[in-house]
Chain A
Amino acid sequence: MLTPQESRPPGGLRNGLRIAIAEDSVLLREGLTRLLAEAGHVVVAAEADAEAFLRAVASCTPDVCVVDVRMPPTFTDEGLRAALVIRDRWPEVGVLVLSQWVEEQYATELISGRPHGVGYLLKDRVADVAEFLDALRRVADGGSALDPEVVAQLLARSRHPLSVLTRREREVLALMAEGRSNSAIAETLVVSGGAVGKHINSIFSKLGLAAGEHDHRRVLAVLRYLNGVTS
């Protein structure tokens, strides 16, 4: 086993991410490993249960982990708990949680006031390889990636009224909550970057939020607003 210092690619050059996988289904584990390898990443560990996975993370400190929520032995939320342990003990390691289900409650627990280097996506999203790799890269770089379905749930259960927003502003808000950058939002909605900036300013002033400079500050503000996520 290589020590982290030896195996980490030289700073700045981060083409290939070092990735640890926790997934109990052999089919998916192998599939993910192959997919990531084809994209030029290095899978440093692929484990089938949470305990072995945590040991692997401790020994080889990956850039980012991909974790399934339901794993043996109880098949409830082992993966989520392992993800929380990683976020607590190794804050610099990005965590991307994949699940057959996404739930606003799990997202809230996972982020718990710190939307840096964290992602929570439906497993289906892996099928759109480019987008999945993009989300993974975002998480590894300290950003966030929330599944649109989670965001829909957050919007549906918002503690505050969103009726003051226009339809376009709600779309921008949802994409922001997913953790997208201004340029990604502009690309998705097919508008200019300037227009997105205007929408964001309008949203923040309408909702009475203090706009942050960085993407993840904004994500935090939005999530706090939607679900009372406390820091």
Chain B
Amino acid sequence: MYLVRDLVSPRTWLAFIHHFIGVALGAAVLWIVVPGMLAGAMGMPIAMIGMPIIGATLRLTDWFARTERARFAVTLGERIPAWPAGSRSGYRMRLLPRLAKLSERATWREVLYALSRGPLSAAAAFVCLGVWAVALVLVTLPLYNWSLPGGGAHLDGRTLHESKAVLVSLAGLLVLLAAPQVTRGLAAADAAFARRLLGPPGGLAARVAELELSRERVVDAAEAERKRIERDLHDGAQQRLVALAMELGRAKAKFADDVDAARDLVDQAHAQAKAALTELRDLVRGVHPPVLTDRGLDAALSGLAARSPVPVDVHVDMQVRPKPAVEAVAYFVVAEALTNVAKHSRASQAKVVVEGHGFPGALTVVISDDGVGGADARGPGLAGLADRVSGVDGQLTVESPRGGPTIIAAELPC
């Protein structure tokens, strides 16, 4: 049924028109680009006079590429992704191409596209026109036959009989039904060709989308982290300092009449002050301790291991220090994972293994425990961790079946 519908569908006829516009545009561009490039090449030895000519030609192919992206969108509904902003080199003084532009693959792909547009569209238009023409001729053959006074058309010197004419028109009908598919098929092939020459490599387009997403996640993760630090400061050290100030105030008031009570209060204040110090240190320990910058991951993990209430076995094997950003993320992963082990796992033993595989290479961080498992990889804690890891292009894997054990692995490129 759709074969019949496609005969009159706008998509078919837009595709049909697309090929013919392609012929017109292609021919026009061909007439400019070929002489432009030739003149440019010949002008090169003469004090680089060819440079501005090539520049002008490249500006045209640049513009043509943009126009073609728009044309494909209008006539075929095909979106050909543009190159990411800032990924291409430009011109000096509007006309002299920067040298980098001349060595960019995209530049020459656009030139190739401009050169092949005309011939390709011409071939496609020719095929389309031919198919439609043959179909219409064959379908209308009986009518033609009937209208002729001589009682039949002559093909190769033989007279066409009524019965044969019906068969021919049936064949014509089949060709007619195929014509829209041929038209559209050629248009799809044309779009694929244009995407290959005008669009960024498929991997790059996907990468741009992925980076946009991960940037957003990293910003969110950083914001969540800031909120957590604010809350920890507010609930912890700040409250302790308030209590401390209060106890000292009471002690001051008591000194006049009840020295023993005052002494007790000072003792309490002393303890509060020390607890506040410990809390502040633990807070920073969970974020980014100075030793991480000074001595690296191996040294910094000692502090985390000692802080963990669950005994932790730490193995670090890396030949080269990774980038600071990667180190910080690796540290954060271990800190968060060990916090989770202490809070939720009911484990009796945990293990941290950090291995560097070459530089540039990857850093793998694996934290495992013998606890009850059931960690939710989509919960806020682990999802935030995955976001941080994605910020350095790494990958976080969480394996935590009910009943345990839990294994959290991060692979960080460095």
Residue from A70, A105, A127, A149 within 8 A of B274 (CB atoms): A127
Q: How far is the CA of A84 from the CA of B249 in the complex (A)?
A: 43
Does A169 belong to the interface (CB within 8 Å)?
Answer: no
Instruction: Using known A-B contacts A76-B294, A155-B306, determine if residue A103 contacts B299 with beta carbons closer than 8 Å.
Output: yes
Instruction: Give the docked Cα–Cα distance between A149 and B281 (Å).
Output: 12
A86 to chain B, nearest CB (A): 19
Q: How far is the CB of A170 from chain B (nearest CB, A)?
A: 11
Q: B103: shortest Cβ distance to chain A, in Å? A: 42
Size band of the interface chain B makes with A: 20 to 34
Is A51 interfacial (CB-CB < 8 Å)? no
Known: A77-B294, A105-B299. Is A124-B277 also a contact (CB below 8 A)? yes
Q: Is A225 an interface residue (CB 8 A)?
A: no
Contact yes or no, A101 B293, CB < 8 A: no
Q: How near does chain A come to B286, taking the closest CB pair, in angstroms?
A: 13
Kindly report which residue of chain B lies nearest to residue A77, judged by CB atoms: B294
A103 touching B303, Cβ below 8 Å: yes
Interface residues of A in 60-112 (CB under 8 A from B): 70, 76-77, 100-101, 103-106
Which residues does chain A contribute within 8 Å of B274, judged by CB atoms? Answer: 124, 127
Shortest Cβ gap from B291 to chain A (Å): 4
Given contacts A76-B293, A103-B295, A156 and B273 within 8 Å (CB-CB): no
Interface bits A124-152 vs B (CB < 8 Å: 1, else 0): 10010000000000000000000001001
Complex formed: what's the CA distance from A100 to B282 in Å?
11
- Which residues of B are found within 8 Å of A123, using beta-carbon distances? 277
Q: Are A127 and B270 in contact (CB under 8 A)?
A: yes
User: Nearest residue in A to B300 (C-beta to C-beta)?
Assistant: A103
Closest residue on chain A to residue B270 by CB atoms = A127
Given known contacts A105-B295, A127-B270, A127-B273, is B302 in contact with A157 (CB within 8 Å)?
yes
Q: How many A-B residue pairs have CB under 8 A?
A: 59
From A105, A122, A127, A156, give the contact of B314 (CB < 8 A). Answer: A156
B353 CB, min distance to chain A CBs, angstroms: 14
Min CB distance, B187 to chain A, in Å?
A: 64
Shortest Cβ distance from B271 into A: residue? A127
Question: Of all chain A residues, which has the CB nearest B305?
Answer: A156
User: Quick check: B306 and A152 within 8 Å, CB to CB?
Assistant: yes
Taking the closest CB of chain A, its distance from the CB of B247, in whole angstroms, is: 15
Give the residues in chain A near B306, CB-CB below 8 Å.
104, 149, 152-153, 155-157
Q: Are the C-beta atoms of A76 and B290 separated by less than 8 Å?
A: yes
Whole-angstrom CA separation of A101 from B273 in the bound complex: 16
Contact of B290 among A70, A155, A156 (CB under 8 A): A70
| A105→B291 contact, CB < 8 A | yes
**B295 contact set on A, CB distance < 8 A:** 103, 105-106
Chain B residues in 8 Å Cβ range of A105? 291, 295, 298-299, 302
Q: How far is the CB of A128 from chain B (nearest CB, A)?
A: 8
Residue with the highest number of chain B CB atoms closer than 10 Å, among A105, A106, A152, A155: A105
Q: Which of A101, A104, A149, A154 contacts B289 (CB under 8 A)?
A: A101
User: Chain B's nearest CB lies how many Å from the CB of A183?
Assistant: 26
The CA of A152 and the CA of B307, in the complex, are separated in Å by 8
- Measured between alpha carbons, how far is A76 from B299 in the docked complex, in Å? 14
For the complex, give the distance between the alpha carbons of A127 and B301 in Å.
Answer: 27
Q: How many residues of A contact B (CB 8 A)?
A: 20
Q: Among B273, B295, B306, B314, find the residue whose CB has the most chain A CB atoms closer than 10 A.
A: B306
B290 proximity list for chain A (CB < 8 A): 70, 76, 101
Q: Which of chain B's residues have a CB closer than 8 A to the CB of A101?
A: 281, 289-291, 303
With beta carbons under 8 angstroms apart, the residue of A70, A100, A104 that contacts B302 is A104
B335 within 8 A of A: no
Q: What residues on A are CB-neighbors of B293 within 8 Å?
A: 76
Q: Are A106 and B305 in contact (CB under 8 A)?
A: no
Closest Cβ of chain B to A80, distance in Å, is 9
How does the 8 Å CB contact mask read for B257-279 relative to A, with 1 for contact and 0 for none?
A: 00000000000001001100110
B residues less than 8 Å from A76 (CB atoms)? 290, 293-294
Q: Is the CB of B273 within 8 A of A157?
A: no
Report B-chain residues with C-beta under 8 Å of the C-beta of A152.
306
Q: Is B312 interfacial (CB-CB < 8 Å)?
A: yes
Contact residues, A155-183 vs B (CB, 8 A): 155-157
How distant is B324 from chain A, measured CB to nearest CB, in Å? 13
In the assembled complex, the Cα of A104 lies from the Cα of B314 at a distance in Å of 13
A155 CB, min distance to chain B CBs, angstroms: 7
Question: A105–B290 Cα gap in the complex (Å)?
Answer: 12
Residues from chain A with a CB closer than 8 A to the CB of B305 are 153, 156-157
CB contacts (< 8 Å) of B270 on chain A: these are 127
Q: Which residue of A lies closest to B292 (CB)?
A: A103
- Which residues of chain A are within 8 angstroms of B281 by Cβ–Cβ distance? 100-101, 122
Q: Using Cβ atoms and an 8 Å threshold, which residues of chain B touch A122?
A: 281
**Which residues of B are found within 8 Å of A153, using beta-carbon distances?**
302-303, 305-306
- The minimal Cβ–Cβ distance linking B302 to chain A, given in whole angstroms, is 4
By beta carbon, the residue of chain B nearest A74 is: B294
| 3 smallest beta-carbon distances between A and B, as pairs | A105-B299, A156-B305, A153-B306
B-to-A contact residues, CB < 8 Å? 270, 273-274, 277-278, 281, 289-291, 293-295, 298-303, 305-306, 308, 311-312, 314
14 residue pairs from A and B, CB less than 8 Å apart: A101-B289, A101-B303, A103-B299, A104-B306, A105-B302, A127-B270, A127-B274, A155-B306, A156-B306, A156-B311, A156-B314, A157-B301, A157-B305, A157-B306
- Apart from A77-B294, A103-B295, A106-B295, 6 more pairs, CB < 8 Å: A70-B290, A101-B281, A103-B300, A104-B306, A124-B274, A127-B273
